[in-house]
Every structure is written in C-alpha cells, then in structure tokens.
Structure 1
Amino acid sequence: METRYTFGGDEHLFVECSEEMSLEAFFKSLSLTEAIKKAGIKGITEICPANASFQLRFDPDIIKPNDLLQSVQIIEKAGKKIKRSIKTRIIEFPVLYNDPWTHETLMRFRDRHQMPDGTDLDYAAEINNHESVEGFIKAHSESPWFVTMVGFVAGLPFMYQMVDRDRQIQVPKYLRPRTDTPKLTLGHGGCFACIYSVKGAGGYQMFGITPMPIYDPTQSVEHLKDFMVFFRPGDIVKFRPIDMSEYEEIVQEIEMNQYRPVIKEVQFDLDQYNENTKKYNNELVKALKDDRDN
C-alpha cells in the first residue's frame, strides 16, 4: 500500500508503511526514520519506530502539523533507496519451555482462554497443525527471529519469525487479558513473539521463560551495565531450549555476574535473505554456534 499519514492529537504524526508485517515494511520504516533524523527538521522532539510504522512527536509552536507532513512526504518522495543491509547482532536466548511458573499462571486464567482444558502450548501446537507440543517447540526455536520494535513496556521486544510466510507461527491473544504474567515470559500474539521484561498484565500466549534479564534500571547486571535496555530494533534472536538444571545454572551465574550472553556481530542483507531464506538462516545460526563453541 501507499504510505498512510494520520495525525494523533496536536503533537503526533503517525506514519504507516504497510497494513501487514514484513521485513520489507520494517526496512522501509527504518530508512524513513533515519532520513527524517538526518534531515534535522526543527520541531520534531521524538521519533518512535515500530514494526511496520513509526510515530513522530513534534512541537506545534515550532512547526505546524501540515508543514511537518509536507516535509516528511518530500523526504519519502525524494526516492532515496530503501536501506537493504544493516550491521547488527544475532543473540542466543536460552528458554525453559513449558516451565512451572508460566504454567501455574496460565492455569489460573483458563476462563480467559480459547482452550480451557489445555495449555497455551497445547493450543498453539494444535492451531499451527503440529502433532505435538515438542514438534511446535522445535518449529518455534529452530529458526531465528528479527526484532522489529522495542517498547510498549520498557525493554520489551517484538520479534518477527524469519521464515516463509506460510510457515509463520500464528496464535491469537487471550480472549481477555490476564492480570499477571511472570517476568521474562516468552509470549506470542498474532505473528509476534515477545519477552515480557517485567511482571505484569498481559494477553499473549505463554510458552516458557528465559533466565536472561533484558531490562535492568539499576544496571547492576553485567550485560546491562552500559544501557538498561538490552534489545534494539534489528537484533536477531535464536532461541535455544534448555532444561531446569541449565536454567538454574544460568540464574546462579547471573546472580554472581558471571553470565555472558552469546552474541555474534553480523551484517544482515535483506536481498540475500529473500533469495534463499532457509540457507541464509542456516548461515546465521552456524555463525552463532561457531562463536559459542569457540
């Protein structure tokens, strides 16, 4: 679709690059926000990128809404090439699927769920045509995920599965939101995976939990000392299933400030990815595995 512009109140301009999520839409949003930032338009106070859109906050005493709209449309129509390659990082995230904490929580809210007699994993496996929960977990964890947005709750990442569209995991949210979600829950809603950075309400299906902190306002955790939020748009995540023993071991390492996430710097190229998605994913995952093994 053509880019859609909508004003929000007196201080916001919402720019929608696509009605549906895709990495193409994300890269278009990324290119536009970078171009707008580079243009240095007076009056813009905040640029907030999202999955396939972004929002600008502006001071109407400095720039009139229609003048801002015209400036942004000129940048879009300038025909600058959409960014197709970024320097980023692939990160391994250990996950205890079907853990006791999210299990206890989800069982307290079955009256709000599509499958009252099962679990969130049972439901996700069934509607995605997997014969077992184990098969679903394999499909969820074997391919990488692309972080397209960070926010809504401080440090919470939205992640888009890097597979062909017909293989993407799709799971609707709860019929009614929960009033409780354990911290560091691995959730899923629609086509997006997320990690709940803090304990609180939520409506995404709960698949497991990670021991690795992603948000620390005290910056006491070793891998969050430079910045309290771990994720940034463009990160690539590879989930690795672990058992309870390894989960407890990682928790102890974190408490002793000895845990170091497995991270590999990479150059992600959208055209190469589109040319052969499976091959490209395998190369990304292999680079991460080789880095961990070394």
Structure 2
Amino acid sequence: MSDAVDPARYSWGGDEFLFVELAEEMSLRANFRAMAITRALRDERPDGVLEICPANASYQVRYDPDVLEPHTLLAHLQDIESKVGDAADVSLPTRVVEIPVLYRDPWTTETLMRFRDRHQDPDATDIEYAARINGLGGVDEFIAAHTGSPWFTSMVGFVAGLPFLFQMVPQDRQLVVPKYLRPRTDTPKQTVGHGGCFGCIYSVRGAGGYQMFGVTPAPIYDPAQSSADFADFMVFFRPGDIASFRAIDRDEYDDTLARVEAHDHRIRSRDVEFGLQPFLDDPDAFNTRLLEVLRAD
C-alpha cells in the first residue's frame, strides 16, 4: 500500500456533521478512496452514526453528538483513512449495468433548440458541439467514444436518483464538455447529459445545464417501485456502479419503453469485483474484460 496521498481535510458542520475532503479535484483514485472509507465505516457503523454520504472526492457523516463524542468519531475516521491509504489494494463488490441510449432523439433535440441562446454554439446541436471541441470527426465518432468505455458512478444526488458518471479512461482521452452558459428551465426525463468531466442521466424532468446527447428508455428513479429493478429501493444507481452506454435505434427504444410501461423490463447487469490498481495498470484490457462480463449470456 502506498502512502503517496495527501491527508484528508476534516471540517465540522454545526454539531451534527463532519465533512471530509480527500482531494481538491475529482479523480478515480480520490473517489475510490471515498468509496472505500465510507463502505468501511458502514460495515463498522459505530453507535451514533446516522447518515453516510459519499461524494466525488469527499464524504460527509451525520452523527448524534449525544451518542457519539465528536472527536471519537474524528479519530475513528482518521484510523479508517490510514488503513485504506491510497486504496490500491482495496476491492469493492459492485455491478456493471448496461444503459440503452437513443442518441439524437427528437425530445432532447427539440428541447436544446429552444435554448440555443444559452449555448456556446447556437448553430450546432449539443452533440455536434461536443464532438467538435473534443477533436472528433463528427457525431458518429463521438457516440463511439461515449459508448466505447465504461463509466464509474462517483456519486448519486443533486436530484433524486441522478448518477454522476466518470469515464474510465486515461485523463487525456476523457470526453470533456462545458455546461450551458446559462441553465435551461427544462430537460426531458432520462436525458443522457454531460458537463465538465461528468456524464449523467437526468432522473426526472426539470431544469439543467448539462449538454444533452440522447435519452434512455430505462427508468432510473421510480418512487412507486413498480418494477423489479426497484423492488428494494426507488433509486436504481448506487455509488460504485459501473455503467456502459449502448446506442439503440428508435424501434428498440419504442419496444423497450413498451416493456417498461408493462412493468416487464429490467436493466441488464452483472455483479463484479472492482479493484482500482488492476484498472490503473491496464485500463483498456480491464475495460474489455468488464464489458465481456456484462454481455456474456
């Protein structure tokens, strides 16, 4: 285990919260450390710990100060941080999931055209703009890059069920697209979007500022818990999930949506163990094996 990581910064939030910043910028290593620390804390769960919320490069703990003395909690978290180290030898049980996407769909296209005055390039669609500023040859090449590697769910939040997705490729190959100059007041439900280094899926219809590339027919948030994907919880994505986007046509979109409405659809998934160091050693080979697991019968 390497000690080549900066020590965490601990900040008190009133008398019930402790915020822990592991790095100043997002990286897969920083997020994996947050995931490993919060999972260890969840497994040990000292009396008085009420909520544990991992984020991109940080986490927050809510506790009851009448049950758990604050500096006792601080010492416990520092001990876990020390044991986790750079997280190189930590392996987390998770799952890889396949998300079908209708790129350049009519609904996000209609929406983005209504808000061109808020965009960096009013004469191009969001996906055309994203392809150009990433130095790609066009929309088809952008879709190939977007679907060609898996995405790590670094956190879930902002609105209920929305996953933040970090592309699992070396930094010089990551797709990076700025958010709109000014946020939209509308975004279709289940829009596949992108802002900065993060992909996302909008779980509900509402305001937003991420670029819009397409839409998935697969629900990721269901308060009614009406299908098997939501039997345990109304939110599909969990931190640590690994998503793989797959391009589909309109016929498959309509067929999938019909099965969703009949409560006869499940998102394709496979359980896997994810270790950070094996991925960092050879990202392309690791991703190939990962996607083979997903698509195996």
Q: TM-score with structure 1 length normalisation?
A: 0.92
Q: Residue type of the partner of 1:155?
A: G
Sort the Cα spacing of 1:254 and 1:85 in 2 relative to 1 into closer, same or farther, 3 A. Answer: same
1:23-65: CA deviation from partner (whole Å, max 9, x where unpaired):
2112211222133334444433211111221011123444454
The unaligned stretches of length 5 or more in structure 2 are 1-5
Contact 2:37–2:84 (CA<8 Å) still a contact in 1? no
Contact 2:38–2:54 (CA<8 Å) still a contact in 1? yes
Q: Identify the residue that residue 56 of structure 1 maps to in structure 2.
A: 61
The question of 1:146 aligning with 2:127 is answered no
Alignment of 1:193-232 (within 5 A): 193-232=199-238
Give the distance between the partners of 1:111 and 1:40, measured in 2 at CA.
Answer: 50
Q: Identify the residue that residue 116 of structure 1 maps to in structure 2.
A: 122
| From 7, 13, 21, the counterpart of 2:26 | 21
1:156-204: CA deviation from partner (whole Å, max 9, x where unpaired):
1111101111000111111111111100000111111110111111111
Contact 2:17–2:60 (CA<8 Å) still a contact in 1? yes
Alignment of 1:229-248 (within 5 A): 229-248=235-254
Q: Secondary structure at the match of 2:244?
A: strand
Contact 2:33–2:84 (CA<8 Å) still a contact in 1? no
1:110-139: CA deviation from partner (whole Å, max 9, x where unpaired):
111111111111111111111201111110
Give the distance between the partners of 1:235 and 1:2, measured in 2 at CA.
Answer: 26
Q: Secondary structure at the match of 1:214?
A: coil
**Cα offset, 1:143, TM superposition:** 0.7
Give the distance between the partners of 1:228 and 1:78, measured in 2 at CA.
Answer: 33
**Cα offset, 1:89, TM superposition:** 1.3
Q: Secondary structure at the match of 2:56?
A: coil
| From 273, 277, 282, the counterpart of 1:271 | 277
**Cα offset, 1:95, TM superposition:** 0.0
Q: Secondary structure at the match of 1:126?
A: helix
Alignment of 1:1-294 (within 5 A): 1-63=6-68, 65-77=70-82, 82=87, 84-291=90-297
Sort the Cα spacing of 1:235 and 1:288 in 2 relative to 1 into closer, same or farther, 3 A. Answer: same
- Show structure 1 runs of 4+ deviating over 6 A: none
- Aligned residue pairs: how many? 291
Q: Residue type of the partner of 2:254?
A: E
Q: Residue type of the partner of 1:48?
A: C
Give the distance between the partners of 1:108 and 1:26, measured in 2 at CA.
Answer: 36
Sort the Cα spacing of 1:88 and 1:73 in 2 relative to 1 into closer, same or farther, 3 A. Answer: closer
**Cα offset, 1:276, TM superposition:** 1.0
Q: Residue type of the partner of 1:121?
A: I
Give the distance between the partners of 1:40 and 1:284, measured in 2 at CA.
Answer: 31
**Cα offset, 1:278, TM superposition:** 0.4
Sort the Cα spacing of 1:79 and 1:258 in 2 relative to 1 into closer, same or farther, 3 A. Answer: closer
Give the distance between the partners of 1:236 and 1:38, measured in 2 at CA.
Answer: 22
Give the distance between the partners of 1:79 and 1:106, measured in 2 at CA.
Answer: 44
The unaligned stretches of length 5 or more in structure 1 are none
Question: Alignment identity in percent?
Answer: 57
Stretch of structure 1 that moved more, 91-100 or 108-117:
108-117
Q: Secondary structure at the match of 1:284?
A: helix
Q: TM-score with structure 2 length normalisation?
A: 0.91
Contact 2:101–2:214 (CA<8 Å) still a contact in 1? yes
